[in-house]
Each structure stands twice: as C-alpha cells, then as structure tokens.
Amino acid sequence: MKRVDIRNLSITFGTGPAAARVLPDVSFSVEAGECFGLVGESGSGKSTVLRCISMLTDIWSGKVTIGGTNVRDLAPLARSREIQMVFQDPYGSLHPRQSVRTVLSEPLKIHKLGDREARMSKAITDVGLPLSFLDRFPHQLSGGQRQRVAIARALILEPTVLLLDEPTSALDVSVQAEILNLLQKLREDRGFTYVMVSHDLAVVDHMCARFAVMQHGEVTEILPREAISGNGATHPYARELIAASLAYERAL
C-alpha cells in the first residue's frame, strides 16, 4: 500500500503573457489503500491528471510522489511496476490483432519475469475469466470481458497504484456492476490505491471514500463521500454538479 501525493501539478503552454495554463496548480493526496475519485465535466482535466501521474504526459511541472518517491526519479521499468492504468474504452485500448495471451505476456517479457504461464493464469482467473480466454482475440469478447482483460493487463505487473479512467462508462449497468464489484474485491484483497475518474457520482459514491471536483483544470473542492447525499459542497460548481446528479437520480 502506497500513498500518492500530488503537489502543484500544472501544465503551461508557451511563455510570457501569451502563456496558456491548461492545468493550474492541482494538489491533492490519496491515502494508502484509499479509493479517490476525480469528477467534473468533460474537458475539466480529470484524465490529464491521470496521464501526468503515470507520466504518459511529461510536460508538467510540480511534484508527484508515490510512497515518498518522486515519479520523475523512477526509471520507466520501475515506474510501470508501481503504477498501471485502466482506460475508458475497452474497444480502443486492446490491440485488435493480439490475443489475450500476447497482451498479457508482453509486459512479462519486457520486465524479464519468469513463470509466465503461472502469472498469466493467475491474472486471468483473478479477474474472473476462464483460462481458455487466453487464446481469444478482442473481437471474440464482450465489452465487460474486454474491460476485465484490460484490468488483468494492469494487474500482471503487480503494481501498487491503479489509475482508473472511467473504467465503466462504456459498459451497461449490469456489466458495470460486475466490474465495480471486481475492483472493490481486488482492493480489499490486495490493498491497491485507486485514483478513479468518473462522471457518474453514483459510481463515485459506491467506490470512493473521498473525491475531488474539477472544473477548468482546477480542483474546486475535495469532499468526503457523505457530502454527496446531503449536497454538502460549498463551491458553486460542485454544488451544481451534485444537485444535478441528485435530481437525475431521484425525481420519482
């Protein structure tokens, strides 16, 4: 279990008076073993924060530490054993011409890990798929099964922090329930730290202990989960977002 700290994360394009700050000063910290939510409208920078933490984008300034180590000091190989990411759309994030076996064995090859078969079968059973699925291609899987493969790929290097970028927004409610249950169970069993982006406050309420509301790249407010049902937010945008979600869900 490792703690994630983000201090003054910012992205600026250009210099001088014409400089555009697309991500002004994001700071928050995630306790070890916590599930932390990031919510906000599209374009508010939620996914960008995840891409910065995972160094998929490296033009940022500020400081991101995982368990006390600065992510910039981690070599790529060590970093990918700390942090893994699950992307939004399982239709886009799996290579259409690679079998599940290829997808799962590639990280093991890169990291020169032994016992490949055993590791792959553990990862695939951990996400609740039968072993025979190792020889399937993405087009032979349903959306929920693909997302499970994407989660298995993230798990295979045994990271400590999982970044979840809208892991269920492309899925049906029934399949969403399966994936959310799986993520909960994995966190309980293995003590992962999750940072989860979502636009659905009901999902955030179900999964996360605390969440940050983002707007125009800024964290407007960090709230505990309990603030949702009573709308305990103070920032006007956060209030509006929570009120809209409540109106959407209630209204009977």
Partner 1 sequence: MSATSILDVRNLSVRYNGTTCDAVKDVSFTLGRERLGIVGESGSGKSTIGRALLKLLPTAKVIADKMRFEELDLLSLSERQMLDVRGKRMSMILQDPKFSLNPIQRVGHQVAEAYRRHFRCTKAEAREKALAMLDAVKINDPMRVYDLYPHEISGGMGQRFMIAMMLLADPDLVIADEPTSALDVTVRLQVLDILDGLVRERGIGLIMISHDLNLVRNFCDRVLIMYSGHMVESLAARELDNARHPYTRGLLAAQPRIGGSRKPLAVLDRKDDWINAVEPTA
The binding site for partner 1 (CB under 8 A) comprises 41-42, 143, 172-178, 180-181, 184-185, 199-203, 205-206, 228-229, 240-241, 244-249, 251-252
Q: Which is nearer to partner 1, 54 or 168 (CB)?
A: 168
Q: Hey, which residues does 219 pair with through a beta bridge?
A: 214
Helix (H) or strand (E) holding 118: helix 116-126
Q: Are 223 and 210 in contact (CB under 8 A)?
A: yes
What is the closest distance, in whole angstroms, from the C-beta atom of residue 242 to partner 1 in the complex? 9
What is the closest distance, in whole angstroms, from the C-beta atom of residue 249 to partner 1 in the complex? 6
What is the closest distance, in whole angstroms, from the C-beta atom of residue 185 to partner 1 in the complex? 7
Q: Which is nearer to partner 1, 24 or 143 (CB)?
A: 143
Q: Are 44 and 35 in contact (CB under 8 A)?
A: no
Q: Are 21 and 217 in contact (CB under 8 A)?
A: yes
Q: Which is nearer to partner 1, 96 or 230 (CB)?
A: 230
Closest CA to 186 of 230, 112, 128: 128
Q: Which is nearer to partner 1, 5 or 240 (CB)?
A: 240
What is the closest distance, in whole angstroms, from the C-beta atom of residue 111 to partner 1 in the complex? 32
What is the closest distance, in whole angstroms, from the C-beta atom of residue 238 to partner 1 in the complex? 11
Q: Which is nearer to partner 1, 71 or 196 (CB)?
A: 196
- List CB contacts of 116: < 8 A, sequence separation 6 or more: 105, 108, 109
Rounded Cα distance, 170 and 90, in Å: 8
Q: Classify 212 as helix, strand or coil.
A: strand
What is the closest distance, in whole angstroms, from the C-beta atom of residue 215 to partner 1 in the complex? 10
Q: Which is nearer to partner 1, 98 or 184 (CB)?
A: 184
Helix (H) or strand (E) holding 247: helix 236-249
